[in-house]
A and B are shown apart, each in its own frame.
Chain A
Amino acid sequence: MPAVSKGDGMRGLAVFISDIRNCKSKEAEIKRINKELANIRSKFKGDKALDGYSKKKYVCKLLFIFLLGHDIDFGHMEAVNLLSSNKYTEKQIGYLFISVLVNSNSELIRLINNAIKNDLSSRNPTFMCLALHCIANVGSREMAEAFASEIPRILVAGDTMDSVKQSAALCLLRLYKTSPDLVLMGEWTSRVVHLLNDQHMGVVTAAISLITCLSQKNPDEFKTCVSLAVSRLSRIVSSASTDLQDYTYYFVPAPWLSCKLLRLLQCYPPPEDGAVKGRLVECLETILNKAQEPPKSKKVQHSNAKNAILFEAISLIIHYDSEPNLLVRACNQLGQFLQHRETNLRYLALESMCTLASSEFSHEAVKTHIETVINALKTERDVSVRQRAADLLYAMCDRSNAKQIVAEMLSYLETADYSIREEMVLKVAILAEKYAVDYSWYVDTILNLIRIAGDYVSEEVWYRVIQIVINRDDVQGYAAKTVFEALQAPACHENMVKVGGYILGEFGNLIAGDPRSSPLVQFNLLHSKFHLCSVPTRALLLSAYIKFINLFPETKATIQEVLRCDSQIRNSDVELQQRAVEYLKLSSIASTDVLATVLEEMPPFPERESSILAKLKKKKGPGAVSVTELDDSKREGGELNGGGERSSDSAAMAASNASTPSPSADLLGIRSSAPMGAAPSAPGSLLVDVFSEAGPAAPAAAVNNDGFMRELEQPTDTSDSLLVEGSGDADSAPPSEDPADPLPEADELLNKFVCKNNGVLFENQLLQIGIKSEYRQNLGKMYLFYGNKTSVQFASFSTTVSCPGELQSQLNVQSKPVEPLVEGGAQIQQVLNIECLTDFCEAPLLNIKFRYGGALQNLTLKLPVTINKFFQPTEMNSQDFFQRWKQLSQAQQEAQKIFKASHGMDTEVIKAKLLGLGSALLDDVDPNPENYVCAGVIQTKGQQVGCLLRLEPNAQAQMYRLTLRSSKESVSKRLCDLMSQQF
C-alpha cells in the first residue's frame, strides 16, 4: 500500500490512482478509466451485496474519475446508501458525492432528504454538520421545502454546538438565496443579529455572511446589526495580537472577520447614533494608523492580512463619502501603495483610487498622484496593472489635466496590449470630447487616434467626430485641412478615408482656395484610396463624389467619367452599382438648383448623448457583458436594419423608435451602439430611401451623404449636452415616501430646454429621462421616456406631476399613470397634455419614485415647460417692428439685462437659440446688422401677449444687452430672465 494514503487508506483506490499516474498517454488513461468504470458497474450490479467499505471505495473512485473530467452517470444510489451508514467516513463520502455531483433527480432527493432528516435529529454534531453541508450545497427547492423551517431553529437554539451553528448559518443563507419565499422571517431574525455578539469567533464569521445577505434585502429589519458590528469590530481592532490567540493570523487579529464586518457596514449609510459613529471613526483611524506602524513580522502574510483589512476600511470610507479627513488619509495611504514593490498592492491601490477619484472630497488629492500613475502606465510589466492605471487616469481626468492625460494615453496606445486597445480608444475619444476647450484639439486627437490605432476605432468614434464637425462651424475649415493632410500619408487607415471622404464632401470648399488643395487635387487624393477600400467605404466615397459635383462644378466631368466607368456602373456589388448609376443620372439631368438643394450641406445633428459613451457603458455595463452578448446584440441590430423597419413613418415623431415596443429600439441611445455597429444594407432604392429620411426627420435635410450615416440622423436620441454622465444622485436620495425636493441642478436642467424641445432631461446611473415635446397655440404635448439603465427591474415605479402654488391656476397639466414595473434595460413612455391658461413663471414639478433592489429612489425635477413654448412667430418688416417697439415704451413693459457671454458668441449658435425660442427671427430689421431682433405672440387661453426682443452683442467686451418688450410686465420679465441664461 502506498504510504501516502492517510488513515484507513483504501488500497484499491491507491492502486488505481497510481495506475492513472503511470499512464504514458491520454489514450492509456482513458482505457484504464473505462476498465475501472466497467469494473465498478459490475460490482454495483452484482448479486453479492457490497459492504459499506467497498461501496465507499468505489464511490471514491468515481469521485476521482469525475475530477479527471469524466462524466459519471451512475453510483448515485450507492452514494445515497452510504448516507445511512453509521461510520463517519462512509457517510461523509456519500454526502461528498451528492454535493459534488448535484443531481436534481427527484426520486433520489426524497431519499436524500430522508437521510438528512435522520442526521439532523441524531443530535450527533458531526452528522448534523454533514447534513447541513449537503443542504447548503445542493440547495434545491425540495430541500428548501423540507427544511426551511427547521434550520432557523437549529441556528438559534441555545444548546446547539458551535460547529453546527456555523453550518446552519451558511445553510440558511443558501436556502434564502435560492428560495427566499420559503425562509420566513420570524422571531429568529433578531436572535440571528445577536450572533454578532457570540463568544465564538467562528460562529460570528459564519453568521455574518448570512446577516450581510439578509441586510441587503431587508435593511430596515436588520438595522440593529450596525451598532453590534461596530462594537465587535472595535473590540477586534483594539485588541493586542495575542488576545484572540486562535484567530490571530500572523500577528493580525481576526483578519477575515474584520473584513466581513467592514463589508457588512457597507450595506448601510453612516450610523446616525453619534456614539456609534464616533466609535467607528476611531476604528477606521486605528486601521489607517496601523498601516504606518512598523510591521510586527517580515512575513508577507502579515502585511497582506493587515492590508486586506485596510482596503476594506478604505472601501467603507469611500462608501460613506462623508468624512473628508478620512478620505484624504485614505488617498495618501493608497498613494504610498502606488510605489510599493508588491505588484498586488499597486494593482489594488490603483483600483481603489479609481473610486476615490469620483468623490468631491478626494478628487483633488487623487490628482496629485498623476505623475506616478502615468509612470505606472508606462513601466508596469503586468497588463492588468497597466489597465488599472489607464482606468484611474480616466477617472481623475478633468479640465485641468485633460490635455496631459489624453496625450499620455495616446502615446501609450502606440504600444498598448491588443486586449485593451479598443477600450483605451473609447476612453481617449470620450475625454477628448468631454474636455475639449478648442475643437481643433479635439479633431487632432481623434485623427491621431485613427492614425495610431485605426483598427480599434469603432464606428461610434468616427461617427462622433463627424457629428461634432458638422455641428460646429468654427472647426470645419480646420477639420478639412487636417484630414486633407492626414490623407497625404502613403498608407492611411480606412477609417481615416471614411472621415476624410465625409468631411471633404461636406467642407472641401473651405480649403479649395489654396491651389495645393484645389477641388481636383482633393478628388484625386480621395480617389487614390478608393481601390484599397472595402465596399462600405467605397459607397461612402461615391456619395462624397456627388457632393463634389455640387460643390465644385469644375470637377463634374472628371467625376462623371469615374462614375461611368465599368468598374463602377457595372460593379458586382449592388449597392455600389446603384449609387454609381443614380449619382451619374442625378448629376446629368438635375438642374444646378435641384442639385444644390438635394446635395445641400448636412444640417446639424440633434445633440444627444455621445454614442461612444453609450458604448463604453455597455462594455463596462452592469455586471459584465460577455463578448457573445455583444455579438448577439449586434446581430439583432443588423436584422432590424436590414428588415426595412425604418420606413418614413417610423421617423415621424410619434412613431419614433421610442414607441416601438422592441427593446432594442431605444430612444435614449442606451443601446444605440448596437444598431450602429450593423452593416447598412438599404432595401429598395437608395434615393427614395434617402428622401423619405429627409422628410419628417429633418425638414431642412438634404440627401444623406451616406447610407451609414442614417443612424446619425435618427431624430430620436437627443441630449442636452454632448456627454451626460450619471451623477448618481438618485442613489443618495433620501429614502422617504414624500416627494423629494427638486434636485439642486433642476433649474440648470430646465434652462437647457428653453430653446429646444427634445433631449435628455436627466440621467444618473440608474435612470435616464428623455423628453420630446410639441406645442401649438396654447396647448402642448410632452412625451417623457423613462429608461432603466440597469439590468434590474424597477418596482413600484410611479410619477407625479404637480403645479406648485400659483402655477395651479396658470397651467393645466394632465398625465396618465405609468406602468409600475420597468424591466432592466427597458424604457417606458408617458404622455403629458399641457394647457397654458395664463402666463406663468414657475415650472411644474415631476416627481419620480421607484424601488431599485429594495431601496426607494425618490427624485424631483422641474419639467421644462416655460412660457416661451407658447410663442407663435410673427413676421414683420422693419417699419412695423419699430412702430410697435415704440408703442411698448412704458417702463413696466420693458425688461432689460446686460450680461457677460457665458458661451462663445458664434452667430449661428445665437441664431439657432433664438429660433429655438419660438419667436420669429427677423432679418434686415435692425439697422445694426450685428443685432438680432425677434417677434412673436405668446398664446394663452385667456389672452395673447405680443412680444418683441432685441439682442445686442458686443463681441469686444464679450457682453450682451437683451431687451424684451411686451404688453404684459410679467411676460417681459420672465422671458428676459429665461433668455439671459441662454447666451
Chain B
Amino acid sequence: MGSEAGEGGELERSMTGAALADANAIPRCPGPTSVSGALVSEMIRFLLMVNRQGQTRLSRYYSDVELRLRQSLEAEVVYRCLSRTKDQCSFVEYQDYKLVYRQYAGLFIVVGVTDDENELSIFEMIHNFVEVLDKYFSRVSELDIMFNLDRVHIILDEMIQNGNIVETNRSRILAPLSAIDKICDG
C-alpha cells in the first residue's frame, strides 16, 4: 500500500490536486426534490462525498430516497454547498434538512441531517471520519476513495448505522478492516 505515485503519472496522490478533466460534470440544473420517510427523531439522513466538479464519490442514504430523486438531490446539495465561500457558515437549510458540510481540498463531505440534530457534533463527526480514512489510507486522497469504495463503506458502516453515530473510537472503527487486511496479506 505504497504511497508512491501511481504508475499512470496522471494519478494524483494528494487531495489538493485532484481535479478531474471532465467538463460535463458541472452541477446539473437543480430540480425540485422531495424526500419521504418517517421522521421520528434526530438523525443523519445521508452522507455524500463530492468533488469540486460535482461528481459524487460516495453516497450513503439512511432514509428512503427514491433513486430517481437522488440525482437531483445530490445536484442541488452540491450546488448549494459549492457556491459558498469560506467565511459563510457550514450549515445550510435545505428543504426539511439541514446540510452540514466540510471541505477538504477538492473534496466536499456533505451530511444531511434532520433539523434538530446538533450541527457541531455532526461537523466534527465528519472530521473524525476523514481522520479515520487518513489513518487507514495514510494520507487519503480522492482516488483512494474511488478505488477502495468497498473499504470506505466498511469504515462508514462502522461509524454510522441507519443514521445514528454508533462508534467514534478510531482504532475500534478500523478493527474489522485490519482483520481483513491481515487475512489478505497473510
Contact = CB atoms under 8 A, between A and B. Distances in A.
A418 B36 CA distance: 28
Contacts of A347: 89, 91
A136 B161 contact: yes
A381 B123 contact: no
Interface residues of B, number: 84
Contacts of A263: 42, 118
Contacts of A259: 118, 121
Contacts of A8: 184
B150 A256 contact: no
A249 B124 contact: yes
Interface in A378-422: 381-382, 384-385
Nearest to A257: B168
Interface in B121-159: 121, 123-125, 127-128, 136-137, 141, 143-144, 146-151, 153-154, 157
Contacts of A126: 176, 179
Interface string A1-24: 011111111000110011001111
A209 B42 CA distance: 9
A739 B184 CA distance: 69
A8 to B, nearest CB: 4
Contacts of B121: 255-256, 259, 305, 308, 312
A322 B100 CA distance: 31
B169 A202 contact: yes
B150 A311 contact: no
Contacts of A166: 161, 166-167
Interface string A298-317: 00010011011001100000
Given A60-B149, A126-B179, A249-B128, A382 B118 contact: no
Contacts of A624: 95-96, 115
Interface string A805-827: 00000000000000000000000
Given A255-B124, A304-B123, A92 B150 contact: yes
Most buried by A among B7, B123, B154, B161: B161
Contacts of B29: none
Contact of B22 (A23, A60, A63, A256): A23
Contact of A5 (B118, B147, B165, B172): B147
Contact of B120 (A63, A216, A307): A307
B87 A308 contact: no
Contact of B147 (A17, A102, A137, A163): A17
Nearest to A23: B22
Interface stretch (A167-175, A765-773, A943-951): A167-175
Looking at chain B's contact residues, the main secondary structure is mixed
Contacts of A513: none
B161 A25 contact: no
Q: Is the interface of A mostly helix, strand, loop or mixed?
A: helix
Contact of B6 (A4, A255, A384): A4
A64 interface: yes
A384 B128 CA distance: 26
A129 B34 CA distance: 32
Contacts of A169: 166
Given A6-B147, A308-B121, 6 more contacts: A3-B6, A6-B181, A7-B181, A18-B11, A100-B60, A173-B164
Interface of A: 2-9, 13-14, 17-18, 21-26, 29, 60, 63-64, 67-69, 71, 88-89, 92-93, 96, 100, 102, 126, 129, 133, 136-137, 139, 163, 166-167, 169-171, 173-174, 177-178, 201-202, 205-206, 209, 212-213, 216, 246-247, 249, 254-257, 259-260, 263, 301, 304-305, 307-308, 311-312, 343-344, 346-348, 381-382, 384-385, 623-624, 626-628
20 contacts: A4-B143, A69-B71, A88-B180, A166-B167, A177-B38, A178-B38, A205-B165, A205-B166, A209-B166, A216-B41, A257-B168, A259-B118, A308-B120, A311-B120, A344-B120, A346-B89, A381-B87, A381-B88, A385-B88, A626-B96
Interface of B: 1-2, 4-8, 10-11, 20-25, 32, 34, 38-42, 56-60, 64, 67, 70-71, 84-85, 87-93, 95-96, 115, 118-121, 123-125, 127-128, 136-137, 141, 143-144, 146-151, 153-154, 157, 161-162, 164-169, 171-172, 175-176, 179-181, 183-185
